[in-house]
């Protein structure tokens, strides 16, 4: 099933979160509500890569609800990589902005690989190391992908998803 056919099957419940546990030590998170496009990407990437996802779909306190649940998943699933997907507030001229936590284990090679995957799928990306570290956990790599609000059509979302899938596959080889 291709990207556009598969995402038609996604639906969202009334619980505060949608959670799926995967087989790979990667979790894709979308902490911000009302970002249906980031929710779609998270589910799609997770399904293709057999990774976990945690999607916030209702008003919830991140510190009291989302973060403890995420930490529990990290510990029980032995998560090594968090991909935090958000939709940006304004157009910065790039399709995506990549941000990392300071504790990213292999920052240079990891970011280089991620940017190569974006380039191969015609996604313009920029790296910004000034990540706010709201999801920093010891020995877990955290990458935030901020999607330009002008790049949320299905073609862009499909190319962003493909880039992230290819990246996760390469990340898991290391």
CA dihedral 98→67→7→91, nearest 10 degrees, is -30
Q: Is 52 helix (H, G, I), strand (E, B) or coil?
A: strand
- The span from the CA of 37 to the CA of 154, in Å, is 9
Reported as a single tens digit per residue, the pLDDT across 4-19 is: 677 666 665 556 888 8
Reported as a single tens digit per residue, the pLDDT across 95-137 is: 999 887 665 545 677 888 899 999 999 999 988 766 556 666 7
Angle of CA points 75, 19, 129, to nearest 5°: 65
- The span from the CA of 91 to the CA of 31, in Å, is 21
What is the structure's pLDDT at 58?
77
Reported as a single tens digit per residue, the pLDDT across 20-57 is: 999 999 999 998 877 888 888 999 999 999 999 999 88
What is the structure's pLDDT at 1?
62
> Does 2 score more than 60 pLDDT?
yes
What is the structure's pLDDT at 131?
58
CA–CA distances in Å: residue 46 to residues 19, 29, 55, 105: 11, 10, 11, 22
For 63-107, the DSSP string reads: IIIIHHHHHHHHHHHT--EEEEEEE-SS--SSSEEEEE-TT-TTH
Eight-state DSSP code of residue 147: E
CA 25 to chain CA mean position, Å: 13
What is the structure's pLDDT at 126?
87
Between residues 39 and 163, the one the model is more confident about: 163
Contact 108, 52 (CB under 8 A): no
Reported as a single tens digit per residue, the pLDDT across 59-76 is: 777 778 888 899 999 999
Instruction: Give the bridge partners for 4, in sequence order.
Output: none
What is the structure's pLDDT at 37?
86
CATH number of 3-173: 3.40.630.100
- The span from the CA of 141 to the CA of 80, in Å, is 6
Eight-state DSSP code of residue 149: T
The verdict on pTM exceeding 0.95 is: no
Q: How is the chain split into domains, by residue range?
A: 3-173
């Amino acid at each position: 099933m291709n990207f556009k056919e598969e995402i038609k099957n996604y639906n969202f419940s009334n619980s505060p979160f949608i959670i799926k546990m995967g087989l790979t030590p990667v979790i894709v998170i979308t902490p911000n509500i009302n970002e249906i496009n980031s929710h779609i990407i998270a589910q799609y990437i997770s399904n293709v890569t057999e990774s976990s996802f945690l999607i916030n779909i209702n008003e919830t306190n991140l510190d009291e609800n989302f973060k403890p649940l995420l930490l529990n998943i990290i510990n029980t699933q032995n998560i090594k990589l968090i991909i935090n997907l958000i939709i940006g507030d304004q157009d910065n001229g790039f399709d995506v902005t990549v941000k990392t936590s300071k504790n990213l284990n292999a920052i240079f090679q990891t970011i280089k690989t991620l940017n190569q995957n974006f380039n191969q799928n015609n996604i313009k990306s920029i790296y910004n190391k000034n990540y706010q570290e709201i999801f920093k956990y010891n020995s877990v790599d955290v990458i935030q992908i901020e999607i330009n609000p002008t790049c949320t059509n299905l073609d862009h979302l499909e190319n962003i998803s493909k880039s992230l899938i290819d990246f996760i596959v390469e990340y898991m080889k290391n």
